[in-house]
Amino acid sequence: MGKEVNGVSRSRFEMFSSSDEAIINKKLPKELLLRIFSFLDVVTLCRCAQVSRSWNVLALDGSNWQRIDLFDFQRDIEGRVVENISKRCGGFLRKLSLRGCLGVGDSALRTFAQNCRNIELLSLNGCTKITDSTCNSLSKFCPKLKHLDLASCTSITNLSLKALSEGCPLLEQLNISWCDQVTKDGVQALVRCCPGLKGLFLKGCTQLEDEALKHIGAHCPELVTLNLQTCSQITDEGLITICRGCHRLQSLCVSGCANITDAILNALGQNCPRLRILEVARCSQLTDVGFTTLARNCHELEKMDLEECVQITDATLIQLSIHCPRLQVLSLSHCELITDDGIRHLGSGPCAHDRLEVIELDNCPLITDASLEHLKTCHSLDRIELYDCQQITRAGIKRLRTHLPNIKVHAYFAPVTPPPSVGGSRQRFCRCCILL
């Protein structure tokens, strides 16, 4: 091999014969052509590779294949394709998404790991054939791995987490959502050897208990994002440990964790001032008292999902309107105690004019057209949900649209008059849905 130019050897450039050169190849240096090709997507590169011998060499050069997303081709992707890609890309490849590639298994990923040892981001989301063997391969050959998505890979067990902890110490983000065989032992092994973890997605890991959270709180000071949705066994005890140990936390999802109480909101307020996203849907024990503490201490909140927090009242909205000027998305669906007065405070708060983009009020029976009047000055409002708000009228929505013509309003109304019954017997009708 001769001297390299931008990662391509001079001998490779010599493969271009004069008879093969088009005008663009004669006018532009090969280094510049290679740079141009580096901006093309996978499909375009493959098309260019069929134009001529010279373009074939350029298009298939490993340096152009540093980031690959095969999601659009998932039905066609088999293990051999991944193996061929890994051989072509080699050490150039940094990011690969095989999301939804159902045909890819452990054997192909072992070959991939052996060939692509500089991989940093790998998505295997939905690759249901893979097992702990794949994580063993990644542990053995891919020490630079930082982001790994194994969501819905249901054969993954604690052995995978132990392997990753041994061979991938730089891991920053791990998604093992719906890997329901994982327990506290796997989490403990992972967090002890990966101190730089910033994102953990454990949605649907139903065997996790407070003990697992205590290990996270003790060993993950850099944690920014944590998703524990539907981890129904966790309680205040484990989450308080997270709050006390992870002061950089910005996003927390505990929707469906019905055992938690206001103690969590107090702990977040006291320990996690950078919190931006909080999802606590279906956490029915939370009250105005806890949200008051949270709002008064977490002024950077941008998104809150409070769906089915059935105890909260207008008092929570008053505190959010005063203390949370960055609020963009707020879900209050099935919060049946919310009234027009709470929306009035929200609509006059500092977030209303420039920040608030989405508000969800499905099944809030006390909400009337007056609430829509209070929101008409929210110029950033993009979407409002009003399903089953029976005091909302078409006229009220029409008036809102005169002030916010581009807003998406989702609601439905029963027919004005029921259709005539057939056969003399009274017919039962369900509610008609109309997207406005």
Domain boundaries, the chain: 24-64, 271-413
Whole-number percent of the chain with pLDDT over 70: 87
Residue 258 Cα to chain centre, angstroms: 22
Give the whole-angstrom CA distance, residue 98 versus residue 292.
44
pLDDT of residue 42: 72
* Beta carbons within 10 angstroms of residue 382's beta carbon: 15
Residue with tokens 């008409």: 376
> Worst-scoring range by mean pLDDT, 67-76, 97-106, 396-405, 417-426?
417-426
> Worst-scoring range by mean pLDDT, 195-209, 227-241, 405-419?
405-419
Domain 271-413: state its class: alpha beta
pLDDT in tens, 364-386: 999 999 999 999 999 999 999 99
Give strand ranges (E) for 126-194: 147-149, 173-175
- DSSP conformation class of 38: T
Q: Are 301 and 295 in contact (CB under 8 A)?
A: yes
pLDDT of residue 413: 77
Query: Which tokens sit at 369?
Result: 């057209």
Give the whole-angstrom CA distance, residue 279 versus residue 185.
26
The pLDDT of 149-161, averaged and rounded, is: 98
Give the whole-angstrom CA distance, residue 3 versus residue 10.
6
Calculate helix-pair angle for 184-193, 210-219, nearest 10 degrees: 0
pLDDT of residue 430: 36
pLDDT of residue 10: 46
The pLDDT of 133-139, averaged and rounded, is: 98
Residue 429 has pLDDT above 70, yes or no: no
Residue 162 has pLDDT above 90, yes or no: yes
User: 115: helix, coil or strand?
Assistant: helix
Q: Are 360 and 334 in contact (CB under 8 A)?
A: no
Give the whole-angstrom CA distance, residue 137 versus residue 107.
10
Calculate helix-pair angle for 106-115, 79-89, nearest 10 degrees: 0
User: 49: helix, coil or strand?
Assistant: coil
pLDDT of residue 27: 65
Residue 418 has pLDDT above 60, yes or no: no
pLDDT in tens, 389-403: 999 999 999 999 999
pLDDT of residue 426: 44
pTM (2 d.p.): 0.86
pLDDT of residue 69: 83
Give the bridge partners for 356, in sequence order: none
Q: Smallest Cα–Cα separation from 88: which of 122, 61, 108?
A: 61
Residue 435 has pLDDT above 60, yes or no: no
Give the whole-angstrom CA distance, residue 338 versus residue 345.
12
Residue 218 has pLDDT above 80, yes or no: yes
Average pLDDT over the chain, rounded to an integer: 89
pLDDT of residue 28: 73
Query: Which tokens sit at 177?
Result: 């959502």
Identify the band that residue 26 occupies on the pLDDT scale cut at 50, 70 and 90.
low
- Between 425 and 239, the more confident residue is 239
Q: Which CATH fold would you assign to the domain 24-64? A: Monooxygenase (1.20.1280)
Residue 249 has pLDDT above 70, yes or no: yes
Q: Cβ neighbours of residue 317 under 8 Å, at least 6 residues apart?
A: 332, 338, 342, 343, 345, 346
